[in-house]
Chains A and B, each alone.
Chain A
């Protein structure tokens, strides 16, 4: 265990460099400042050009199947090629995309989707309700359920009804008032044409497929029959790099125009006003500590609460994340419209000691399993260990490789870490905070919580639903197994001529993969 209060953040370690890209979601995150004013948009975007973007974590496992993407670059490509019915925006709000309207009946047991007129797939065929039905069947195929299947569990797939070319009626097995926010991403919920084959990746997105070699490069070109605002760039070339250094060198020697989600160590090398600028996102990604609530010592609520009180959150952000984060308060989904900002927690060592004593767990010693699956994660573990020592708690940090971390023992560690991008609160619960949820490393769940959740997703009235959501958040805050010390920022490094990208809140790089808004000056 390190006693170092300032864990080394220098350089690029071999492990950083060899880091596998298997680990879903964000991959890398965070970064440096530099004039945000540079992103002010007052000029008219210039059309044309080929935007070349580098992503880290190259792996042959990369896929153009939007329903089974694993690494961040899969998501980047999915957002270029495909679209969902409703889509999360860079500011985490939700807007209709392929759906013109999506309306529930009075008790949210049936949803009616009306599609936008005149939408074409890349092969020229028009988008119809049958394609939507096919997409949901493909995702939830009981023989080979894809990543989004869990969230779509309330759908009564067998009784979907194609009313006409543009209308689909979707019955639910239980009242399900939050359907749109559950399917708000082209990642996992893209609409694909009937008989979709990932080898021929046809979608409705602003770019169409030209070429793809997993782990190396994809080229997409602007889709001229796109129904919405046409993208500014002609071509989107996405390259995957195994090495941080190679990617950075490529940016420096102008072989690529952007490095998405750059590691901290590289961001420091970028000054202001040079040929490379940094795009710092809003905080959105979260990298929690996970305490298994079904195992000692964390089966005692006092211990969980004490551990949450051990953390000096701002210090952790300053040290482990070089300041690229915003204090979190142990409740996820920072940008959910119902997020309860009144729940605040700060370090209180005396209270923590008192709670530990009350639980009979003085001089507690635990092992914290960490891994370098996102920027700053192992450093956060070290900082936690150091901060815990002030309250007499001994935390020994064990770092394993990402493939071990997410291997057989993932979700078995008693005390570990994890990461997430932003997702609305209730769908997020379905993924990580219910008994039997796919990614529930804290093993959280009890009847009262599940009942409240079911009640919330079945409540059509937003006001009432907000109250229940606040009850759930209160339980997370008081009792849950996550310690969420921060919401982290993502930093992309851009060549100085890359314009038109927003500061996203979603944890996705490149301004929530703003391929439509980006342009080259």
Chain B
């Protein structure tokens, strides 16, 4: 093969990713079809009379054959026009994209704060494994890992905005049509909560991974050669220890992209997760479909990136090994 193994691996993975996304499209479409209740009924609530129901169903073309509905939906997505909300008639893109931006902001800030901190603390704890610093940080991490995210959020609210101190706003009210950045103080508590929630996993993974590498023979060899601690840690150890950490980072990012419903809920933060929840409650199928599809795309993309980065970090792993994994 003339191609670089990494390139052919990447091409293969991208192709598989696209296939996965198509499969997701099909599953999402079918799943939203079998949701109990239908949009027409959800729209009307208790006001649903048979005539009104028939009227709205016809308007929404809910009675077309499945394949026709699927095709018009998929082609809409591909051409950048995901249609209109069944519930209030606004363009789905107008509903979803502002929320995507809000969630992206949350994700970016949390990553910037939480990832370097967790990894640094993980390395520190590994270097001082078994000593006071390590046990101290590890205990805190364990406690945080045991707390559900909404509990962390509520504790922070009680502490910092309602009962004890009044530093930050308790909920993230974002006036429609404005960006969260126009009033960045509302981001503080959600970002802090998410950072605390993400911290334990990354920290523990980094710590475990670094400890493992520290125990390996080549590190011992390097030490015997007289390599300094700093250089040893950051050049010889960390790069090798990062491969599993990258996977956790990817999973954490995927979680931050859409799995933070509870945190958004507690703070009333207008992100994707809450958008999905509300759309599900009213069976707003086009919105559900687009959000789920976007989240799936983020998952696929992040995993792909994580694999590629892990491979670059660890040249010993050949593409063949990756494929057979």
Contact = CB atoms under 8 A, between A and B. Distances in A.
Instruction: Answer yes or no: do A and B interact.
Output: yes
A212 B282 CA distance: 18
Interface residues of A, number: 50
A20 B282 CA distance: 8
Given A247-B171, A252-B170, 13 more contacts: A60-B287, A143-B55, A145-B52, A211-B175, A211-B176, A213-B176, A242-B265, A249-B171, A250-B171, A253-B169, A255-B173, A403-B281, A407-B37
A85 B177 CA distance: 34
Contacts of A63: 88
A243 B46 contact: no
Contacts of B88: 60-63, 214
A70 interface: yes
Interface in B67-90: 85, 87-88, 90
Given A217-B173, A250-B170, A407-B37, A144 B42 contact: no
B153 to A, nearest CB: 9
Contact of A245 (B41, B44, B154, B174): B154
Contacts of A21: 281
A241 interface: yes
A252 B265 contact: no
- CB-based closest 3 A-B pairs: A213-B176, A249-B170, A246-B268
A377 to B, nearest CB: 14
B173 A408 contact: no
B41 A407 contact: yes
A278 interface: no
Given A211-B176, A242-B268, A246-B268, A22 B55 contact: no
A58 B278 CA distance: 8
A404 B46 CA distance: 11
B173 A215 contact: no
A contact face: mostly helix, strand, loop, or mixed: loop
A391 B45 CA distance: 36
Contacts of B87: 59-61, 214
A246 B267 contact: yes
A439 B46 contact: yes
A102 interface: no
11 contacts: A18-B281, A20-B282, A23-B45, A60-B282, A145-B52, A211-B177, A239-B173, A242-B268, A243-B266, A249-B161, A438-B47
B49 A438 contact: yes
B98 to A, nearest CB: 9
Nearest to A211: B176
A249 B49 CA distance: 38
Contact of B161 (A18, A216, A253, A406): A253
B46 A406 contact: yes
Given A23-B45, A253-B161, A243 B268 contact: yes
Contacts of B270: 216
A72 B137 CA distance: 49
A410 interface: yes
* Most chain B CB neighbours (cut-off 10 Å) among A62, A247, A253, A438: A253
A22 B166 contact: no
B103 interface: no
A217 B163 CA distance: 26
Contacts of B47: 24, 68, 70, 147, 438
B107 interface: no
Given A253-B161, A403-B281, A214 B171 contact: no
Interface string B86-102: 01101000010000000
A18 B274 CA distance: 11
B43 interface: yes
Contacts of A71: 45
Contacts of B277: 18, 242
Of A58, A143, A214, the most chain B CB neighbours within 10 A belong to: A214
B162 interface: yes
A499 to B, nearest CB: 23
A160 interface: no
Given A22-B45, A252-B162, A407-B41, A61 B170 contact: no
A119 B229 CA distance: 83
A145 B53 CA distance: 11
A253 B166 contact: yes
A17 interface: yes
A186 interface: no
B51 interface: yes
Contacts of B52: 144-145
A62 B43 CA distance: 9
Nearest to A418: B46
B282 A219 contact: no
B265 A246 contact: yes
Nearest to B85: A60
Contacts of B265: 17, 242-243, 246
A213 B177 contact: yes
B95 A60 contact: yes
A173 to B, nearest CB: 19
Nearest to B163: A252
Contacts of B157: 249
B287 to A, nearest CB: 7
Contact of A253 (B55, B171, B177, B287): B171
Contacts of A212: 176
Contacts of B253: none
A17 B161 CA distance: 21
B279 interface: yes
Interface string A60-103: 11110000101100000000000000000000000000000000
Contacts of A216: 174, 176, 270
A431 to B, nearest CB: 11
A245 B287 CA distance: 26
A22 B266 contact: no
Interface string B28-59: 00000000110001111111010110010000
